[in-house]
Amino acid sequence: MELLRNVPIGQYVAGKSGWLRSLDPRLKFAWVLMFLVSPVLAGPLWRVALALALLLITVFRSLPLRIIWRPFSLLIIFSILCGLLATFLPTNETTSVITVRSPQELPNLLLSGSHWEIIKIGTFVIDRRSAELGLKTSTLIFTVVHSVNLMLCTTSPEDLMWTLRWYLKPIALLGFPLDRMSFQLLLALRFIPLVQEEFQNLIRSIINRAINFKELGLKKSVGLILSVGERLLSNILLRAEQGAESLLIRNHGMILHPSSLKPKGLMKRSSAWLNSIAIAVLFITIILRKEYGAF
């Protein structure tokens, strides 16, 4: 039941190894937006290229393999299963066909279908459209989930909150309470691991007690589940209150200003070349998406 330690999906993993940690969080956020937006209305080749790019980023020492390999493997299996499920879905609508003349009456007539049958297993037919649907589904799931997971694993909640505030700074001129929203976002990002941890602890306690639900019966089993849910909610609210108080104490009882959480080392010379390469490749990718994204 060591879910948080073995499968760190969407959680920040502290450390200094991996070149993704040295990348400017604003660039990481821009790259994630590119991975989320560019597959829209894109062709299958572009989606496959994005998935391969994420695969290369993962393999070439972006993070230690001991951290990423379990969620990476589970995500690949889940994406493949969703792609196979989408492949067997019907993609053609049944329409009524009115035959005016028999094709044999027209000489030199070439008959062409709207799709190609690739595989036919009994009543299941895989044609070109269904294969493209499965490919698009699997690559989209992998691209969206893995790109966001890489950013969350390598970016602390404080850095991510500061990055979002940096992008949304223009709306503060319109009187939008950006500081309060940023503080609430920071609490939410710290709140997610607490929910997972409390849920894991309660499940572990039930397993260790070896509760036999068959002997309890339906009524007592439902009562036990409700009491566990009540305990989970009370623990989560208590941990959230403690987290909010700790953040307020750091700023003498006031809302923590995002400028105090600005990431350190943004202007280091060691990471300047990495950020420059990331900016250049991002612009090249946007140009390639405009030219070849429909393929």
Question: Which among 144, 145, 142, 150 is positioned nearest to 62, based on CA atoms?
Answer: 150
Looking at residue 292, its pLDDT comes to 84
pLDDT single digits (tens) 58-87: 888 667 777 778 888 888 999 999 988 888
Other C-beta atoms within 10 Å of 169: how many?
11
Q: Does the pLDDT at position 5 exceed 80?
A: no
Judged against a pLDDT cut of 60, whether residue 99 lies above it is answered with no
Tell which residue, 268, 253, 67, has the closest CA to residue 149.
67
* pLDDT tens by residue, 127-146: 778 888 888 999 999 999 99
163 is written with which tokens? 């990055």
In the chain, where are the structural domains located?
1-91+116-155+266-295, 157-263
Percent of the chain as helix, strand, coil, to the nearest 5: 70, 5, 25
Tokens matching residue 135: 């490919």
Report the C-alpha dihedral over residues 19, 22, 23, 24, rounded to 10 degrees.
170
